[in-house]
Structure 1
């Protein structure tokens, strides 16, 4: 178990280092798309004839990608997760060899310990899920994919929920009979 936890924590740290880069690349691409779209609206071959709001929404998404950590923090506070999301630092949580991974009085405690061990991976995965929800929303807005806005909102909400997996595991296990 120690090797798997350390391996997934290393993957999570790599993902947490790549996420700010992906956010800033997406912000730059959205900003360039917004500027190009605003310029195209003045041209006779305007591709946004029926959807003149698309360049302006791309400009808003550019800001959302640039401030992605603050967006996730506000979404986590709205979900009462009491988390501060930061994209410029990672706090690795490795496996501690002196404690038993299955400790406690039953499966409830064992599951909570496993979730605690893998929490960094869940947090990074949740941030990536929320990031791809925003990327897919831009594609749905422009008509490049066939995703529904409600499905993307649910995907973003799932990403926010995964930011604090221990709290959500406690909530799910509260329905588990002891």
Structure 2
């Protein structure tokens, strides 16, 4: 199992290096869509005739992508997860490798230790889920995809919940019979 944990942690570190790049590319894309949309408002072939708010919302999303780590930190604070997200390090949520082997008095402790071992992967995956929720929201408002807004809010909330998998695992296992 140690090899699987190391492999997934390496994938998570690689994905956490790519996330800031993806955020800045998405911020540039949203900014270009916003400027182009504002320019198109005065043209006769305006593609946003029924949606004049799209360029302005795209400008807001550009700022959200540029400050994505702060958005995730504020969302995690609202969810009482006590997570500080930083896109400037190799591990976006400050993961420290687990050193204790699986031990404890039962399956509850074993599951918690496994979740602790895989927590870097869960945290990085959660950040990417939240990123793709915002990106899909931009596509839904411009008409490029047919995603529901409530589904995207749920996707973003799931991504934020995955930022602290140990707390969520403890909450889920609190319903486990002793």
Normalising to structure 2: TM-score of the pair? 0.96
* Structure 1 gaps, min length 5: none
8 Å CA contact 2:98–2:116 kept in 1: the answer is no
2:125·2:162 contact (CA, 8 Å) conserved in 1? yes
1:13 matches 2:13: yes
Could you list the runs of 4 or more consecutive aligned residues of structure 1 that deviate by over 4 angstroms after TM superposition? none
Q: Is the 8 A contact 1:9 1:94 kept in 2?
A: no
Counterpart-to-counterpart distance in 1, 2:98 and 2:3 = 8
- Which residue in 2 is equivalent to 1:36? 36
Mapped contact 2:95–2:119 kept (Cα < 8 A): no
Matches within 5 A, 1:155-166: 155-166=155-166
Q: CA deviation at 1:94?
A: 3.9
Q: Aligned residue for 1:124? A: 124
**Matched positions, count:** 175
SS of equivalent to 2:84? coil
CA–CA distance in structure 2, aligned partners of residues 74 and 24 of structure 1: 19
- Cα contact 1:41–1:52 (8 A) shared by 2: yes
What is the distance in 2 between the residues matched to 1:63 and 1:93? 30
> 1:92 Cα deviation (Å)?
5.1
Structure 1 residues 7 and 95: CA distance shift in structure 2, 3 A: farther
Q: Deviations over 1:86-121 (max 9, x none)?
A: 00112454464xx42x21000000000000000000
The alignment status of 1:58 with 2:47, answered yes or no, reads: no
Contact 1:123 1:164 in 2 (8 A): yes
Cα distance in 2 between the residues matched to 1:82 and 1:68:
17
